[in-house]
Amino acid sequence: MDRLRTFGIVAHIDAGKTTLTERILFDAGAQGWIGSVDDGTAAMDWMPAERARGISITAAASRVQWGRHVMQVVDTPGHIDFMAEVERCLHVLDGVVVLLDGIRGVESQTEAVWEQAGSRGLPRLVFVNKLDREGADFTAVVAEMGERLACRPVPVVVPLFDDAGAFAGLGDALGGRVQWFAGKPPSAAAERITAELLVAHERVVEAVADRDDSVFADALAGRRIAADRLRRLLRAEFMAGRLVPVLCGAALWNRGVDWLLDAVVDYLPAPVEMPRHGLWATPDAGDPAAPFCAFVFKVQHVDAATWNFVRVIRGTLGVGDVWVRGRGGASGTCATLWVVQADRHTDVERAEPGQIVVLPGEFALRTGDSLCAPSAPLVLPAPKFPAPVLAMVFEPERAEDRPRLAQSLRELAVDDPTLRVDVDRDRLLVRGMGELHLEIVADLAKARAGVAFHCSRPQVDRRETVEWVGHGEAEVRALVAGAECAAVCEVEVRPAPGRGPAAVLDDVGGAAAAAVVAELGLLAAAGLRVGAMHDLVVVVQRAECSAREPNLPLLEQAATKALEQAIAAACPCDLEPWVVFEAWCPEEGAPVVLADLAARGAEVEAVAAGRLGARVGGRAPLANMLGYVTKLRSITRGRGRVDLRPAGLRPVRRQA
């Protein structure tokens, strides 16, 4: 386990994640060709929808060997609509490599994945990519990192340029090594390169000297600090979250990838070094002799098979072993075990702590399940996913095709924890995270079901809450077994901003109250009238039944009526999703962009000018931003772009 590194590659869309991963596979000898995203030959983007669109939709895992170390690499999507895919992968990773575009620098999605990884305490290396492109500026990107990501970046690899200013090599700031891409550096540039590396070395020394007096003393005395010593001190600061090592290169041309892999070995932790929180807070985590326990972080239907991706936390899982689901229900025997490289797999006999493997088979498992030895059931902490924000109706051309389409959509919902599929008056209502998300779901459903269907225009999926405290009381009577039975329920609803999905509390106790709480929990989750209930608390203040045993149907009716009364008295209102936006455009086009955003009800919070033009940031109702990408490109003659990410719920604005 001390030679195992498990990390993900995360970034804003189009930063080069998949391109970098393909170079890692090639350099490590895991495949004999270099896949291309543009040509549709990338091994990690194996789904037809990914190759057709040139983007990553699902996370893909691979295992490679780098020297004496084994690396488990996960390539994640960069589009905001697939952030749940990133979230469930981060739940089982030990660190991340954050990719930055050398031209665009820190983008909105960069901030989002940085926060996601930081909230889990994952160490983060940074690789500044695309330094071969015109307009790339390594120094500016590093400075922007410190400002927008609130961290202290320390370049450990710096770019070197020839006399014409072209990106021509890399320099090791710790040891002074030089990697020149074409032969050797010209003698005329040697003195300049030596001076640049000396400056980079001094900056690393300065960063670690703040925490180590002996380094500070040696630096004052003019003694050069050995690379191994610097690396050891830098790693300690990195693991403590005080410094962020920064590397650079150009993944497209395989520049700097080998040094990045060396840095993964040098800086990222092995499972035995992980802090004891999250999955690694499990008792005896990492102990191969402990009772088996693993976490299911991804379920995916591939053709006619079901792949259950698991990471072993303790114990071992071997072919022939019996396992149970921690929360009860499913159990099974491990008939086959795979190590995967994207969509290809290799059989293995046993998986040990820290390893990511696939357990193939339909076991009714879901993302977030725990697999355990029958003698030691355990429920591991699971990731939480945001609720969908857009809804679309899928209508088959032939009524007899509805069951087949519905089954395909339900399989996709098993694969994707942010996808919801409901039947509303014989309509298939599909809820997702954005326009692109629903478009891709439609493409996948068409390929999987093989039936023709139409999709409605996406509509914003609203929630419902209350503004005041409201009370409701209801009594229901009925003849039960020849005798009159009465059920009485009294509830109170209270606003709870920021609470999320409605919570139900028992204020009185007893069997009848417990039955009501269970029923109201279902009602609150499913929603009454319009959308799901949100940001409120329901308190059961009274629950009685005249029968000796609680009559559940009568209690259900009384609870429903009481809850409806309470909500009506509490001034119900709708909530709609908002988004944070960040738009870029030529400076001369900023007035037109601002005017269009004002017409959409946006709240502009910042307007700044930079080397890439004007940047406009703020918040807006999601409903008003549907189709905005096309509109922005139109009013900026194709030179504008925008990033959107969720910003919670707000009450729907009342029309004047």
DSSP string, 581-602: EEEEE-GGGHHHHHHHHHHTT-
Q: What is the pLDDT of residues 404-450, one digit of tens each?
A: 999 999 999 998 888 988 887 778 899 998 888 899 999 999 988 89
Q: Which domain holds residue 302?
A: 279-372
Considering the domain architecture, whether residues 355 and 223 belong to the same structural domain is answered as no
Looking at residue 13, its pLDDT comes to 82
Mean pLDDT, rounded, for 114-122: 91
Mean pLDDT, rounded, for 56-80: 85
Domain boundary among 372, 399, 433: 372
Is the separation of the CB atoms in 71 and 261 below 8 Å? Answer: yes
What is the DSSP-derived secondary structure letter of residue 337? Answer: -
| Total Cβ atoms within 10 A of residue 245 | 26
Considering the domain architecture, whether residues 334 and 222 belong to the same structural domain is answered as no
Considering the domain architecture, whether residues 236 and 367 belong to the same structural domain is answered as no
**Domain CATH for 589:** 3.30.70.240
Looking at residue 42, its pLDDT comes to 62
Q: What is the pLDDT of residues 297-327, one digit of tens each?
A: 999 888 778 999 999 999 999 999 999 999 8
Considering the domain architecture, whether residues 213 and 148 belong to the same structural domain is answered as yes
Q: Is the pLDDT of residue 39 over 80?
A: no
What is the DSSP-derived secondary structure letter of residue 250? Answer: B
**Domain CATH for 260:** 3.40.50.300
CA distances from 617 to 108, 111, 569, 603 (A): 10, 13, 39, 9
Q: How far apart are CA 261 and CA 256, in angstroms?
A: 9
Evaluate whether residue 382 is within a structural domain. Answer: no
Considering the domain architecture, whether residues 82 and 216 belong to the same structural domain is answered as yes
Q: What is the model's pTM?
A: 0.84
**Domain CATH for 505:** 3.30.230.10
Domain boundary among 461, 488, 503: 461
- Per the prediction, the chain carries an average pLDDT of 88
Q: What is the pLDDT of residues 560-579, one digit of tens each?
A: 889 889 999 999 888 899 99
Evaluate whether residue 656 is within a structural domain. Answer: no
Considering the domain architecture, whether residues 88 and 43 belong to the same structural domain is answered as yes
Is the separation of the CB atoms in 550 and 515 below 8 Å? Answer: yes
Give 176-220 as a DSSP string.
--EEESSSS--HHHHHHHHHHHHHHHHHHHHHHHTT-HHHHHHHH
Considering the domain architecture, whether residues 246 and 320 belong to the same structural domain is answered as no
Considering the domain architecture, whether residues 116 and 175 belong to the same structural domain is answered as yes
What domain count does the chain have? 5
Q: Tokens for 539?
A: 């308190």
Evaluate whether residue 385 is within a structural domain. Answer: no
Looking at residue 108, its pLDDT comes to 83
Considering the domain architecture, whether residues 425 and 540 belong to the same structural domain is answered as no
Mean pLDDT, rounded, for 279-301: 93
Q: Is the dihedral of CA 498, 502, 507, 510 positive or negative?
A: negative
Q: What is the pLDDT of residues 346-372, one digit of tens each?
A: 999 999 999 999 999 989 899 999 999
Place 45 in a pLDDT band, splitting at 50, 70 and 90.
low
Considering the domain architecture, whether residues 558 and 638 belong to the same structural domain is answered as no
Place 656 in a pLDDT band, splitting at 50, 70 and 90.
very low
Is the separation of the CB atoms in 430 and 419 below 8 Å? Answer: yes
Domain boundary among 541, 570, 599: 570
Q: Tokens for 413?
A: 């919902």
Evaluate whether residue 380 is within a structural domain. Answer: no
Evaluate whether residue 379 is within a structural domain. Answer: no
The dihedrals phi and psi of 343, each to the nearest 5 degrees, come to: -100, 5
Cβ-in-10-Å burial (0-12, 13-18, 19+) of 302 comes to middle
Evaluate whether residue 313 is within a structural domain. Answer: yes
Q: How far apart are CA 360 and CA 357, in angstroms?
A: 10
Beta strands in 236-304 (DSSP E): 244-248, 293-302
Q: How far apart are CA 51 and CA 462, in angstroms?
A: 33
Q: How far apart are CA 339 and CA 345, in angstroms?
A: 6
Q: Is the pLDDT of residue 529 over 60?
A: no
More confident of the two residues 291 and 543: 291
Looking at residue 521, its pLDDT comes to 60
End-to-end CA distance of the chain: 64
Give 504-530 as a DSSP string.
EEESS-SHHHHHHHHHHHHHHHH-SSS
Evaluate whether residue 349 is within a structural domain. Answer: yes
Q: Which of 152-166, 311-325, 388-402, 543-557 is predicted least confidently?
A: 543-557
Q: Tokens for 472?
A: 């409701």
Looking at residue 618, its pLDDT comes to 95
* Helical residues (DSSP H) of 279-366, grouped into ranges: none
Looking at residue 37, its pLDDT comes to 61
Place 526 in a pLDDT band, splitting at 50, 70 and 90.
very low
Q: Is the pLDDT of residue 530 over 50?
A: no
**Domain CATH for 320:** 2.40.30.10
Looking at residue 655, its pLDDT comes to 58
Q: How far apart are CA 415 and CA 419, in angstroms?
A: 9
Is the separation of the CB atoms in 461 and 422 below 8 Å? Answer: no
Q: How far apart are CA 205 and CA 210, in angstroms?
A: 9
Considering the domain architecture, whether residues 265 and 150 belong to the same structural domain is answered as yes
Considering the domain architecture, whether residues 444 and 468 belong to the same structural domain is answered as no
